[in-house]
Amino acid sequence: MNRIHILGASGSGTTTLAERLSQEFSYNHLDTDNFFWVKTDPPFKHIREVSERIKLLGEKLDNVDKWVLSGSLCGWGDIFIPKFELVVFLWIPEEIRLNRILNREKRRYGEEINPGGKMYEQHLEFMEWASKYDLGDLDIRSKKLHEQWLNNLNCKVLRIEEDIEIEEKLQKVKDIISEDKY
């Protein structure tokens, strides 16, 4: 399998799993955030126009033979669905996921996410948005939206819906990839 998409809620481990697959199997790792957001300082302030996202991501996907794409592109990136050979859906309980996000934010931005920091308000908004994933409706990045999207795929889908170590997740994907070779 040369074209894998990994999606789930923010903090579910999509990027981590994609990075490990990239290391182990020499996939080019692409992340939807790099196409969705215009690079700014502080980051994640300006959303790129849909047509530009599609153009940039399409060029990347078409110019590499083996890739793993992490993140969500439901709706805006549905044009790429026929390219996927395997889609991996990750889900973990909300409390674990939100703690992961908080720790990641602290590592990335340090004091900037504390009261008075230049990213404080943005951090609060992001945590609020991320907390809505499990119960949110189809109008936001939610489990409901992802479930609906997964049901319309024509490729293999691997669902990992438990809090397990990255090595176990990696093995589950390896098992699917090796099945495909025979």
91-150, pLDDT tens digit by residue?
A: 999 999 999 999 999 999 999 999 999 999 999 999 999 999 999 999 999 999 999 999
pTM of the model: 0.94
Which segments of the chain does DSSP mark as H helices, in order? 14-25, 33-36, 50-62, 94-109, 120-130, 143-150, 166-180
Closest CA to 180 of 72, 16, 22, 25: 25
Q: Pairing between strand 28-31 and 46-47?
A: unpaired
Mean pLDDT of the region 79-89: 97
State yes or no: pLDDT of 73 exceeds 90. Answer: yes
Q: What pLDDT sits at residue 45?
A: 87
Give the confidence band of 181 by pLDDT, cuts at 50, 70, 90: low
Which domain, by its residues, includes 96? 3-180
8-65, pLDDT tens digit by residue?
A: 999 999 999 999 999 999 999 999 999 999 998 888 889 999 999 999 999 999 999 9
Angstrom distances, CA of residue 127 to CA of 14, 50, 84, 89: 17, 24, 30, 21
Mean model confidence pLDDT for the chain:
95
| Number of domains, the chain | 1
CATH for 95: 3.40.50.300
